[in-house]
Amino acid sequence: MGDTKKKCRQYSIEYLKYGFIPSPKNAQLPMCLICEKVFSNEAMKPSRLLDVVIIPCCNKAKKDLSYFQSLRDKFHARPTLTAMFSSAAQQESDGMKASYNISFLIAKTGKPHTIGEELILPVVSEVLHTVLHKPATDIIKKIPLSNTTVQRRIDEMATDVIDTLYNYLRTVQFSLQLDESTLPGNEALLLAYVRFIKEEKINEELLFAKPLETDTTG
């Protein structure tokens, strides 16, 4: 006699009224919505499913279809471990980006670097709590803005800007202009500007600013 092929039953939406959905890991296996136990494919028969329905731990006997539909929707809406890790990683990345952007604004306005922790983070926390009605603690923790962090961010961005400018100047023709400026205390400063064409527009950038050994009085 030849081998008898084992019939593999497919899930039917009708099985939801018995409290079963396809297993997330194997759609050919039924999973109980109440105890979340996965049964064999052979159990995917209405008669077998009815046997499972009367299992005491599940207590499904008096449950209607709408009850199981609600359970199914809640099960599918639950965040998976992968999704939670992905969300956490995205939040860390967004927090880091915010840290750099805020540090840039601090440098641009010339404010003390301590303003990040002393004022900006409390302001963000207040807006999240009062206006958006969201818990602020976890979000604030992901935006590092200590005095040393802000200084490091500014230094990193400045280095990146300089490197980008130097690399670009190696590929184009540019003009150089030298100028002198004075800092408080009559300290002389040598400024170097470059002009070049980029994307059909004339651009001017500060190449460097270096203190001179003498002061403005000679």
**Residue 207: pLDDT over 60:** yes
Mean pLDDT for 11-18 is 73
Domain's final residue, options 62, 77, 92: 77
Q: How far apart are CA 154 and CA 137, in angstroms?
A: 25
Give 46's Cβ-side CA count (13 Å radius).
Answer: 4
89 and 114 fall within a common domain: yes
Residue 6 lies in a domain: no
Query: pLDDT band for position 193 (50/70/90)?
Result: very high
**Residue 215: pLDDT over 70:** no
Tens digit of each residue's pLDDT (9 = 90 or more) over 140-160: 989 999 999 999 999 999 899
**Residue 55: pLDDT over 60:** no
Residue 7 lies in a domain: no
Residue 2 lies in a domain: no
73 and 85 fall within a common domain: no
Residue 111 lies in a domain: yes
Residue 201 lies in a domain: yes
Q: How far apart are CA 114 and CA 155, in angstroms?
A: 15
Tens digit of each residue's pLDDT (9 = 90 or more) over 126-143: 998 899 888 888 889 899
Number of domains in the chain: 3
Here the tokens at position 88 are 């956490």
89 and 143 fall within a common domain: yes
Residue 100 lies in a domain: yes
pLDDT of residue 132: 86
| pTM, full prediction | 0.50
Looking at every residue in the chain, the average pLDDT score rounds to 81
Residue 68: name the closest of 24, 17, 15 by CA: 17
**Residue 114: pLDDT over 60:** yes
88 and 149 fall within a common domain: yes
62 and 91 fall within a common domain: no
Residue 5 lies in a domain: no
pLDDT of residue 88: 62
Task: Domain of residue 59: give its range.
Answer: 13-77
pLDDT of residue 5: 57
pLDDT of residue 185: 76
pLDDT of residue 154: 93
87 and 141 fall within a common domain: yes
pLDDT of residue 87: 63
Domain's final residue, options 45, 77, 109: 77
Residue 41 lies in a domain: yes
